[in-house]
């Protein structure tokens, strides 16, 4: 007999809504008079909906225990998210305030949801973390697998079309632009033709790297050194030295612009 998943997506959506309202009570959810009172209420509703989501896949006690771990880590998760907001404000001259980042930038909900989903992924919660990031993928066009390991002060400018694979690692103060892919090369296959799972497939990106729009960086052995710059529309399948700039040549000697 097939398992019944009816209501699961609504419950995961509910958990995300309460998560955002708990962390940012003056930006999301219903109108409130007292922010601290609202935060406490939203945190309780977040716990309830998160446990109900996990119970589709876990025993009741296991779901409750994993929620308790997330509850303990909420201050740490929030602190990370605050660094991402600051990175967006400092990294975009068009940003007039951190409130604008929270209310209007697509990277904010995508990265914030990833931060929660990543903790659930580390706790080996099935399906729910992937559902969370795919919900934001559908809303923002930013696809971050919950398994990726991303350091603080992370910013995605514009954002549409960004893809970050499961085994990607990203250091601190990294900035991506729209349509960047941090992906895998051709998959290794088992004898039966199915992809080999559980191996490193996606690149490592060092601290203070900037990757411009349309760039594609592939492969589990590909390492982008700290302070490197990856130019727009480049195709990178081998490692880049720290501080190096990779770009498509705009001009050919004596022949004018490339076409």
**pLDDT number for residue 194:** 83
- Residue 51 placed within a domain: yes
**pLDDT number for residue 195:** 81
126-161: per-residue pLDDT in tens? Answer: 999 999 999 999 999 999 999 999 999 999 999 999
Task: Give yes or no: residues 83 and 129 share one domain.
Answer: yes
Q: Which region among 69-73, 127-131, 246-250 has the lowest average model confidence (pLDDT)?
A: 246-250
**pLDDT number for residue 5:** 96
- Residue 24 placed within a domain: yes
Task: Give yes or no: residues 182 and 213 share one domain.
Answer: yes
CB 223 within 8 A of CB 203: yes
156-214: per-residue pLDDT in tens? Answer: 999 999 999 999 999 999 999 999 999 999 877 888 878 888 899 999 999 999 999 99
- Residue 156 placed within a domain: no
Task: Give yes or no: residues 48 and 82 share one domain.
Answer: yes
- Residue 154 placed within a domain: no
Using CA atoms, how far residue 102 sits from 111, 139, 219, in Å, is 11, 15, 33
Task: Give yes or no: residues 110 and 201 share one domain.
Answer: no
Query: Are β-strands 245-246 and 181-183 bridged in parallel, bridged antiparallel, or unpaired?
Result: unpaired
Give the number of domains in the chain: 2
CB 150 within 8 A of CB 170: yes
Task: Give yes or no: residues 216 and 186 share one domain.
Answer: yes
Task: Give yes or no: residues 133 and 231 share one domain.
Answer: no
Task: Give yes or no: residues 165 and 193 share one domain.
Answer: yes
CB 99 within 8 A of CB 82: no
**pLDDT number for residue 33:** 83
CA angle, 119 as apex, 116 and 122 as ends, to 5°?
Answer: 150
Of 111, 141, 171, which residue constitutes the final position of a domain? 141
Which residues constitute the domain of residue 84? 1-141
Residue 16 C-alpha from the chain's centroid: 14
Provide CB contacts within 8 A for 25, sequence distance 6+.
Answer: 32, 35, 36, 38, 39, 42
Can you name the residues that pair with 142 across neighbouring β-strands? Answer: none
Task: Give yes or no: residues 44 and 134 share one domain.
Answer: yes
CB atoms within 10 A of CB 98: 15
Task: Give yes or no: residues 169 and 83 share one domain.
Answer: no
CB atoms within 10 A of CB 128: 24
Task: Give yes or no: residues 27 and 135 share one domain.
Answer: yes
Average pLDDT over residues 210-219: 98
Task: Give yes or no: residues 236 and 179 share one domain.
Answer: yes
- Does position 252 have pLDDT exceeding 50, yes or no? no
Q: For position 168, which CATH number holds?
A: 2.160.10.10
**pLDDT number for residue 76:** 98
Q: Which region among 31-35, 69-73, 105-109 has the lowest average model confidence (pLDDT)?
A: 31-35
Task: Give yes or no: residues 116 and 168 share one domain.
Answer: no
**pLDDT number for residue 250:** 45
């Amino acid at each position: 007999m097939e398992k019944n998943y009816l209501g699961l997506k609504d419950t995961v959506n509910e958990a995300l809504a309460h998560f955002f309202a708990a962390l940012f009570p003056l930006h999301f959810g219903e109108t409130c008079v007292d922010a601290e009172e609202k935060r406490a209420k939203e945190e309780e509703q977040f716990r309830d909906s998160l446990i109900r989501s996990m119970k589709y896949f876990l025993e009741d006690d296991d779901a409750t225990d994993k929620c308790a771990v997330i509850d303990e880590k909420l201050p740490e998760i929030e602190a990370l998210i605050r660094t991402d907001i600051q990175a967006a404000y400092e990294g975009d001259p068009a940003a007039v305030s951190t409130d604008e980042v929270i209310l209007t930038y697509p990277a904010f909900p995508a990265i914030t949801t990833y931060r929660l989903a990543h903790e659930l992924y580390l706790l080996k919660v099935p399906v729910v973390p992937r559902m969370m990031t795919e919900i934001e993928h559908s809303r923002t066009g930013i696809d971050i697998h919950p398994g990726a390991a991303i350091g603080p002060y992370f910013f995605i400018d514009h954002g549409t079309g960004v893809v970050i694979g499961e085994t990607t690692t990203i250091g601190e103060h990294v900035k991506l632009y729209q349509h960047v892919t941090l992906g895998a090369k051709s998959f290794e296959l088992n004898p039966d033709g199915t992809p080999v799972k559980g191996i490193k497939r996606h690149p490592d990106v060092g601290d203070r790297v900037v990757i411009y729009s349309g760039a594609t960086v592939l492969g589990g052995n590909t390492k982008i050194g700290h302070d490197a710059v990856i130019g727009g529309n480049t195709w990178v399948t081998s490692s880049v030295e720290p501080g190096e700039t990779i770009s498509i040549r705009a001009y050919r000697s004596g022949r004018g612009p490339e076409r």
